[in-house]
Structure 1
Amino acid sequence: MTTTIDAAEIEKFQAMAAEWWDPNGKFKPLHMLNPCRLDYITTQIAAEFDRDLTLDRPFEGLRILDIGCGGGLLSEPMARLGATVVGVDAAERNIPVARAHAEQSGLKIDYRHTSAEDLLRTDEAPFDAVLNMEVVEHVSDPLAYLTACHDLLRPGGIMICSTINRNPKSYAMAIIGAEYVMRWLPKGTHDWSKFITPDELFDLLGRAGMRAEDRMGFVFNPVTWTWRLSERDLSVNYVTASVRPT
């Protein structure tokens, strides 16, 4: 099995690994986006598995894989909700950062320096849910990568996948705005040519064997400096939910 890891993309995140939990550091955009991401993720997983989010640990008994886990910004909330979490990242320096923060937080999370393809060679699969957030635009072969994600899911399992649309507005906001004007991210973090439109992603998901069921936009309000979900505006950041058919 070939790898979809893009070494140049991984090196970008290696250089920023120590800053994952600094809300004002290089990952400030993700810290601001995280509440909105978590709202979508938890709602979709709860609906798929008929879980009550008002309970203390509604995801008890579910196995969740967080691919591209970084410092654990999503893995930790999933663990607090009761899930058994495996977090994997191709950037080796992210893993000790994630492990140390989980230990400080009193959370048991299985963090590993590996890839989706390599994880398939182990006996870890299948998972009930795969979190695939802001990763697909950084891999060398999106279809092969999404196929590996499909294979890691059990039939009936759900994948949440977010990425960035490809159009002039996304170039202006995700690259010019975030990297050059606001300086939230180092220059060169994103390659606009690797961004994926919603229709392209739905097509890729279908070719990978997934059944796409939902998509929503993440919309930033520059006045309140908050993010919200939008059914209509997928022009820059957006997220999808898809299921592996039974």
Structure 2
Amino acid sequence: MAMQQNSAAGLSGKGSTVDPAEVAKFSKLSDEWWDPKGKMAPLHKINPLRLAYIRDAACRKFERNARSLSCLSGLRILDIGCGAGLLCEPLTRLGAQVIGIDPSATNIAAAKLHADKGHLSIDYRCTTVEQMDHRERFDIVLAMEVIEHVTDVGAFLARCAAMVKPGGMMVVSTLNRNWKSFALAIVGAEYVLRWLPRGTHQWDKFVTPDELAQHLAANKLTITEQAGVVYNPLADRWSISSDMDVNYMVVAEGV
């Protein structure tokens, strides 16, 4: 997720779940989003896994062939907290009509510039989900590594859920809250391995799978798929797992 300090004042008004401190934190990384060896390297490594999870879930839901290069054709996707477009671009290449939103003006600028270089048509908007037109609806709503950075998880997910079309789906990825996630995601990733700048995450903002399910159920969404995401240091590779103790992803659909 990426945000920016200058845009925070204008986008974190009444009713917004945007945290200005989080905006400022991620703004500092905006110039490095597309450097696979820079500070966003962990996101580049996990991105193919996230993309495949979203693609495969969408193809099952909408009865598409996941092997087709245009398997998401005709689907309208909202990527909330899109950063510089690491997911928006490959989803667009698979045929989707993608709207990427982020409260960071610098990150949206970086996203637009990179998309232009690749001759990709992506609707990037410097805004928040709360400020979007409440009449807009999407086949797929993505909140990938976002909810652990907002000020009010329940309010944020309620707004996200309201953007899902009848018959649509939502995909959420986040971090569990337990001793293991503190040891690996905070101490390990930020202090030992230095994958992320110190302070990137706040452990008390992590969300357990049960809490997430309750918030989604309150908005008439039921989790239909879930999976853990684990890192193998020997292979230097992320993979899908049944272990949801630290990183995990879920697919939710209307009740």
**Who is 2:5 aligned against?**
none
CA deviation map 1:126-169 (0-9, x unaligned): 10001110000100110111110111111111111000011111
Shift of 1:56: 2.1
Q: Are the counterparts in 2 of residues 52 and 58 from structure 1 also a CA contact under 8 Å?
A: yes
Opposite residue 115 of structure 1, the aligned amino acid is T
User: What does 1:103-114 align with in structure 2 at a 5 Å threshold?
Assistant: 103-114=116-127
The alignment partner of 1:186 has SS state of coil
Residue 93 of structure 1 aligns to a residue whose secondary structure is helix
Q: TM-score, normalised by structure 1?
A: 0.96
Structure 2 portions without partners, runs of 5+:
1-13
Match of 1:14 among 23, 27, 30: 27
Instruction: Return the offset for 1:24.
Output: 1.2
Confirm whether residue 226 of structure 1 aligns to residue 237 of structure 2.
yes
Contact 1:134 1:163 in 2 (8 A): yes
Cα deviation, 1:188-241, whole Å, max 9, x if unaligned, reads: 0100000011111111111122121111000100100101101x2001100000
User: What's the counterpart of residue 53 of structure 2?
Assistant: 40
CA contact (8 A) 1:25 1:184 kept: no
Whether the aligned pair in 2 keeps the contact of 1:67 and 1:133 (CA below 8 Å) is yes
Q: Deviations over 1:99-152 (max 9, x none)?
A: 01111111100101101111134x5x1100011100001001101111101111
Letter of the 1:55 counterpart = S
User: What CA distance in whole angstroms lies between the structure 2 residues aligned with 1:133 and 1:178?
Assistant: 18
Q: Which runs of 4+ in 1 moved over 4 A?
A: none
One-letter amino acid of the counterpart of residue 228, structure 2: G
2:48 is paired with a residue whose SS is: helix
Alpha-carbon separation, structure 2, partners of 1:215 and 1:162: 10
TM-score of the two chains, using structure 2 as the length reference:
0.92
CA distance, structure 2, for counterparts of residue 100 and residue 156 of structure 1: 34
- How many residue pairs were aligned? 242
- Unpaired segments ≥5 residues, structure 1: none
Alignment match, 1:243: 253
Q: Distance in 1 between matches of 2:133 and 2:198?
A: 33
1:94 is aligned, of 101, 107, 110, to: 107
2:193 aligns with: 182
Match of 1:150 among 157, 161, 164: 161
Could you say what the CA RMSD is over the residues aligned between the two structures, in angstroms? 1.1
